[in-house]
């Protein structure tokens, strides 16, 4: 066939499945003792077959400097680029003229996890995280404030670079 | 009389409990073995190795909402689960499961009811189970359920005949319909699976069909009939159909053990089947019986997770065009052979007799399996193109 279609040869007349049955039963029996592929989730979070990709974009994390202050300089680029409009930023300024966020909130329910905020951040402050266990008992717990974003400890995403697709 | 009553009541309670626990463990075994065959682990969370999973399932089923379809026939809808549940448990009553247990008041037969017509009782109650399924399908007032029920009844009728025919050979050889006598006859010489191999083959196929297990689970057929006859059932009523199905499996396995694999007989020794009876003998034979039954239960599960379901016309073709003539022809051959061995040659039933019949079975099996294998038995998917 021109498009490389594989035509299966099917029995045209009546057939018995006796040998096929025995073959199948031998196969299923041998599978009884094969190593199992199940990953026992709450205890094991990765196996040799599966780990979370480092490119995974999960809930955010704000990195901090040596004094434990958020690295954010409240430049306003992340709320500007955010396609889901989920970042709320109110900038403040101290007596030395340093800008810092007075309010910095991310609504994780609105967030589409595009990672633009991390890409655009000049200070490498806001990051999307390699993290997926986000269960909470109430909806309002999903608006992460600055304190909570700074307190996250999970690893952060290394975003995919189109000019370097393999991450070298 | 008092002794008989008391011992019978104790036996009924014990056997009932053991079967219910066995059925519960069987549901777990099914899920775990199925998982292993698919390279998964299966339910292993509740208790060690998931042993309490059946208890959790049972509790869940008790707490779930009972639904009653508005257009359903209420009386029959409520009656149907019981109708399939009760016969499934009743059939086990006549199966002998160990040697008599000696007590200070006399020997107790290790069978709930040592009926002289034990085998006929099993055939009668075995077919009664389908009433529950048909009634469930009818009372649900749901076209898919009705189709499931109808399929169950047609399937039962088709395969009951082959099953009966195959077991007539056993009765001819045993000369008795009492199951304890059938077992005793096998214990003295050789298990009936050897002299009657082909009858066993027919019986096991028919038993799969009778218990509605894959590849013959047409009545429930999730893919086509959305669970068939128990589509409309929920909670404990649904659970009862499941218990019935699994008890039927246990009974069918016990029946295979009793009719073809010597029941509680331990092979290669006569220690277990000669008086005086001791408690040790009872325990040992009970263990042998349980082991044999579990092997067949494993076979049920194994086949279920290997084979796909038959199409309905294939099922009917296999039942009427293959199983029935095969069983009839085989019965004729075996009856003739028995007459020759008994009346013409004057042999009594012993190991030599059994082995002679086994040779005959092998001779018959070779052409049979050649024909089965070379084709022309079950219609393939393009049967219309036949030249």
Residue B383: predicted pLDDT: 45
Q: Which residue in A has a C-alpha nearest to residue B35's C-alpha? A: A32
- B379 chain-A contacts, CB cut-off 8 A: 14
pLDDT surpasses 60 at B381: no
- B380 chain-A contacts, CB cut-off 8 A: 10-15
- Tell me which residue range forms the domain holding B108: 63-265+273-386
- A40 chain-B contacts, CB cut-off 8 A: 41
Between A120-124, B170-174, B371-375, the lowest mean confidence (pLDDT) is in: B371-375
- A31 chain-B contacts, CB cut-off 8 A: 36-39
CA–CA dist A159, B197 (Å, integer): 68
Query: Per-residue confidence at A168, pLDDT binned at 50, 70, 90?
Result: low
Q: What average pLDDT does range B2-8 have in this prediction?
A: 84
pLDDT surpasses 80 at B144: yes
Write the residue in B33, B306, B387 that is nearest to A24 by C-beta: B306
Are B372 and A21 an interchain contact pair (Cβ–Cβ within 8 Å)? no
Query: Per-residue confidence at B375, pLDDT binned at 50, 70, 90?
Result: low
Residue A22: predicted pLDDT: 84
Angle at A145 between CA A144 and CA A150, to 5 degrees: 95
pLDDT in tens, B94-116: 888 887 777 777 777 778 888 88
Alpha-carbon distance A50 to nearest alpha carbon in chain B (angstroms):
15
Q: What average pLDDT does range B265-284 have in this prediction?
A: 77
Between B281-285, B330-334, B347-351, the lowest mean confidence (pLDDT) is in: B347-351
**Element housing A148 (H / E):** helix A146-151
Residue A83: predicted pLDDT: 92
Are A15 and B41 an interchain contact pair (Cβ–Cβ within 8 Å)? no
Residue B89: predicted pLDDT: 84
CA–CA dist B233, B208 (Å, integer): 24
Q: Which residue in B has a C-alpha nearest to residue A41's C-alpha? A: B45
Residue B385: predicted pLDDT: 45
Write the residue in B36, B378, B386 that is nearest to A17 by C-beta: B378
Are B303 and A10 an interchain contact pair (Cβ–Cβ within 8 Å)? no
Q: How many CB pairs (< 8 A) connect A and B?
A: 76
pLDDT surpasses 60 at A1: no
Are A13 and B302 an interchain contact pair (Cβ–Cβ within 8 Å)? no
Residue B381: inside a domain, yes or no? yes
Q: Which residue in B has a C-alpha nearest to residue A15's C-alpha? A: B375
Write the residue in A16, A24, A34 that is nearest to B378 by C-beta: A16
User: Looking at per-residue confidence, does A17 or B308 come out higher?
Assistant: B308
ipTM metric: 0.73
Write the residue in B39, B302, B373 that is nearest to A16 by C-beta: B373
Chain A touched by B46 (CB under 8 Å): no
Residue B12: inside a domain, yes or no? no
- Give the total number of structural domains in chain B: 1
Are A32 and B36 an interchain contact pair (Cβ–Cβ within 8 Å)? yes
Are A24 and B385 an interchain contact pair (Cβ–Cβ within 8 Å)? no
Write the residue in B302, B379, B387 that is nearest to A29 by C-beta: B302
Are A15 and B378 an interchain contact pair (Cβ–Cβ within 8 Å)? yes
Residue B298: predicted pLDDT: 92
Residue B34: inside a domain, yes or no? no
Residue B236: inside a domain, yes or no? yes
Q: What average pLDDT does range A77-92 have in this prediction?
A: 91
pLDDT surpasses 60 at A71: yes
Closest alpha carbon to B297 in B256, B260, B258, B250? B250
Residue B58: inside a domain, yes or no? no
Closest alpha carbon to B111 in B260, B264, B325? B264
Query: Per-residue confidence at B379, pLDDT binned at 50, 70, 90?
Result: low
Residue A137: predicted pLDDT: 92
Helix axes B179-188, B235-260, angle to 10 degrees: 40
Q: What average pLDDT does range B193-217 have in this prediction?
A: 84
Residue B338: inside a domain, yes or no? yes
CA distances in angstroms from B246 to A154, B19, B37, B298, listed in the order given: 49, 10, 20, 12
| CATH number assigned to the domain with residue range A60-167, chosen from the 4 options 3.30.70.3270, 3.40.50.720, 3.30.450.70, 3.40.50.300 | 3.30.70.3270
Residue of B43, B314, B378 to mutate when probing chain A, most A C-beta within 10 A: B378
Q: Name the token pair of B82.
A: 């019981």
Instruction: Name the phi and psi angles at B243, rounded to 5.
Output: -60, -40
pLDDT surpasses 50 at A104: yes
CA–CA dist B88, B239 (Å, integer): 14
Q: Name the token pair of B357.
A: 């019949």
Write the residue in A10, A21, A37 that is nearest to B380 by C-beta: A10
Neighbours of A70 (CB within 10 A): 20
Cβ burial, residue A58 (10 Å; 0-12/13-18/19+): buried
Is residue B95 within 8 Å of residue B266, measured between CB atoms? no
pLDDT in tens, B32-51: 999 999 988 888 888 888 88
Give me chain B's average pLDDT, please.
Answer: 82
Instruction: Name the phi and psi angles at A99, rounded to 5.
Output: -85, 145
Residue B283: predicted pLDDT: 85
Is residue B216 within 8 Å of residue B209, measured between CB atoms? yes
Instruction: Name the phi and psi angles at A129, rounded to 5.
Output: -105, 155
Are B302 and A27 an interchain contact pair (Cβ–Cβ within 8 Å)? no
Give me chain A's average pLDDT, please.
Answer: 84
DSSP A105: E
Residue B1: inside a domain, yes or no? no
């Amino acid at each position: 066939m021109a498009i490389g279609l594989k035509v299966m040869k099917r029995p045209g007349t009546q057939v018995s499945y006796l040998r096929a049955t025995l073959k199948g039963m031998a196969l299923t029996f041998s599978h009884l003792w094969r190593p199992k592929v199940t990953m026992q989730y709450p205890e094991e979070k990765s196996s040799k077959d599966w780990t979370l990709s480092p490119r995974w974009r999960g809930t955010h994390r704000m990195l901090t400097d040596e004094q434990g202050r958020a690295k954010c300089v409240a430049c306003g680029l992340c709320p500007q680029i955010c396609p889901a409009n989920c970042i709320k930023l109110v900038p403040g300024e101290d007596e030395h003229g340093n800008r810092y966020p007075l309010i910095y909130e991310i609504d994780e329910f609105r967030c589409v996890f595009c990672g633009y905020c991390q890409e655009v951040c000049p200070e490498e402050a806001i990051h999307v995280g390699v993290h997926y266990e986000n269960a909470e008992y109430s909806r309002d717990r999903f608006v992460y404030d600055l304190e909570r974003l700074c307190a996250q400890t999970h690893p952060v995403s290394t975003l995919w670079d189109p000019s370097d697709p393999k991450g070298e | 009389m008092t002794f008989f009553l008391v011992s019978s009541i104790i036996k009924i309670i014990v056997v009932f409990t053991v079967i219910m626990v066995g059925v519960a463990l069987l549901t777990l075994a099914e899920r775990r073995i199925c998982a292993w065959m698919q390279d998964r682990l299966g339910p292993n969370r509740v208790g060690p190795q998931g042993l309490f999973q059946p208890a959790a399932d049972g509790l869940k089923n008790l707490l779930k909402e009972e639904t009653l379809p508005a257009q359903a026939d209420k009386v029959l809808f409520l009656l149907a689960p019981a109708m399939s549940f009760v016969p499934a448990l009743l059939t086990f009553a006549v199966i002998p499961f160990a040697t008599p247990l000696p007590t200070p008041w006399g020997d107790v037969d290790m069978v709930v009811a040592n009926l002289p017509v034990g085998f006929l009782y099993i055939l009668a109650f075995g077919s009664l189970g389908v009433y529950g399924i048909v009634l469930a399908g009818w009372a649900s007032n749901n076209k898919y359920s009705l189709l499931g029920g109808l399929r169950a009844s047609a399937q039962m009728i088709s395969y009951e005949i082959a099953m009966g025919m195959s077991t007539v050979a056993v009765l001819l050889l045993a000369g008795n319909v009492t199951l304890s006598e059938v077992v005793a006859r096998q214990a003295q010489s050789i298990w009936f699976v050897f002299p009657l191999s082909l009858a066993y083959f027919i019986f096991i196929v028919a038993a799969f069909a009778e218990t509605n297990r894959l590849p013959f689970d047409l009545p429930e057929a999730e893919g086509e009939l959305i669970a068939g006859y128990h589509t409309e059932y929920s909670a404990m009523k649904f659970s009862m159909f499941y218990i019935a199905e699994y008890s039927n499996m246990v009974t069918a396995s016990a029946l295979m053990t009793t009719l073809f694999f010597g029941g509680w007989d331990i092979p290669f020794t006569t220690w277990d089947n000669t008086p005086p009876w001791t408690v040790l003998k009872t325990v040992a034979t009970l263990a042998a019986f349980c082991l044999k039954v579990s092997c067949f239960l494993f076979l049920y599960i194994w086949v279920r997770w290997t084979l796909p379901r038959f199409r309905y016309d294939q099922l009917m073709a296999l039942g009427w065009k293959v199983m029935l003539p095969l069983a009839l022809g085989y019965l004729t051959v075996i009856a003739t052979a028995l007459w020759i061995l008994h009346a013409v040659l004057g042999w009594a039933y012993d190991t030599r007799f059994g082995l002679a019949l086994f040779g005959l079975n092998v001779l018959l099996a070779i052409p049979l399996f050649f024909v089965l294998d070379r084709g022309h038995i079950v219609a393939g998917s393009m049967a219309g193109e036949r030249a």
